[in-house]
């Protein structure tokens, strides 16, 4: 990754690990702290050249391409610098590595941290990782988790691994894809040991621009498999297996079935959530606990697990002490 100069033209030769990505995305990555508007301005004006020619923002860079990047003088705001420092420290303290090799790494993301910046969030997991590892040639999210969800998050360290992981997640649970499992606590007494939900989902925006999802026959095909793990008088613990990867899929499917996730501030029971906060559950009970997948480069069978966070484990222990449990092992 080149160090873009503030005072002179930067020339960068694209390597094999960098090829295939859009030119605008590459510039946004290497020109840290530069507003998107400035990146697109220098692209439109022709100041950025690829092999001595103008190039569109959507151009896919290739290995061996020579980029000319003009001097970029943008002063970082003190609050952004401070945010970067805080985010970098958070990775070291709060994002333990579950696995790492030359192609990818897996972190155990805590609830309350976005996977990337945007929508009022200056820094997320990926920006923090890049801040911690300034010499890394590539660090890109292979998939996403909701901000309120904890658990396994994969990050690619090579372009070839990123492409393979994206293909794998598109295949879902169809044999060659990733097997992603979540632990989720819901309101109500779930009775079926195994249940499939295939309700189509449609994404839309509220008047304030916030993203929401609803069940809609005209939406995108979606499939979640639920397995009963434990059941108490008022609540149930399920394992959710994603067969597709739609936004808020588990949350919306469960709300539609009449079993909202405990602590869900978008689709849950808000009055119950306030009551649970007083009992100690101050977050959504949704945790990506296990993932099995073929390694993106070696094809070796991989199996990763993220232990249940202490706050969620403590809540289950509290349930087992305060309510009769009639299904599953004691916690």
Catalytic residues: 146
Q: Measured on CA atoms in the order 181, 193, 309, 147, is the torsion positive or negative?
A: positive
Tell how strand 150-156 and strand 286-294 pair up.
parallel
Per-residue DSSP letter, 24: H
d(CA 90, CA 114): 12
Radius of gyration of the chain (CA): 22
Phi, psi of 20 (to 5 degrees): 95, -15
Contact assessment for residue 236 and residue 230, using Cβ atoms and an 8 Å cutoff: yes
DSSP labels, 168-235: HHHHTTSSSS-EEEEEEEEES----SEEEE---EEEEE-TTS-EEEEE-TTSB---EEEEEEEE-SSE
């Amino acid at each position: 990754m080149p160090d873009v100069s503030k005072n002179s033209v930067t020339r960068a030769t694209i390597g094999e690990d960098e090829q295939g990505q859009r030119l605008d995305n590459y510039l946004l990555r290497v020109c840290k702290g530069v507003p998107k508007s400035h990146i697109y301005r220098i692209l439109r004006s022709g100041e950025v050249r690829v092999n001595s020619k103008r190039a569109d923002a959507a151009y896919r860079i290739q290995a061996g391409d020579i980029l000319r990047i003009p001097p970029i003088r943008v002063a970082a705001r003190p609050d952004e610098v401070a945010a970067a420092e805080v985010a970098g420290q958070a990775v070291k303290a709060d994002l333990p590595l579950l696995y790492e090799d030359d192609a990818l790494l897996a972190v155990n993301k805590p609830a309350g941290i976005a996977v990337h910046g945007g929508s009022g969030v200056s820094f997320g997991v990926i920006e923090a990782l890049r801040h911690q590892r300034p010499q890394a040639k590539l660090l890109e999210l292979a998939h996403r988790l909701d901000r309120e969800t904890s658990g396994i998050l994969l990050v690619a360290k090579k372009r070839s691994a990123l492409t393979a992981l994206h293909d794998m997640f598109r295949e879902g649970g169809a044999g060659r894809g990733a097997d992603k499992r979540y632990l989720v606590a819901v309101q109500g007494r779930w009775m079926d040991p195994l249940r499939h939900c295939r309700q189509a989902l449609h994404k839309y925006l509220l008047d304030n621009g916030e993203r929401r999802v609803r069940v809609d026959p005209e939406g995108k095909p979606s499939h979640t498999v639920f397995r009963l793990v434990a059941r108490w008088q008022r609540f149930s613990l399920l394992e959710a297996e994603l067969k597709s990867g739609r936004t808020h899929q588990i949350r919306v499917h469960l709300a539609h079935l009449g079993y909202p996730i405990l602590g869900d501030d978008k689709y849950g029971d808000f009055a119950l959530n306030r009551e649970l906060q007083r009992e100690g559950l101050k977050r959504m009970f949704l945790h990506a606990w296990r993932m099995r997948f073929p390694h993106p480069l070696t094809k070796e069978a991989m199996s990763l697990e993220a232990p249940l966070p202490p706050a969620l484990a403590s809540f289950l222990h509290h349930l087992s002490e305060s309510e009769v449990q009639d299904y599953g092992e004691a916690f």
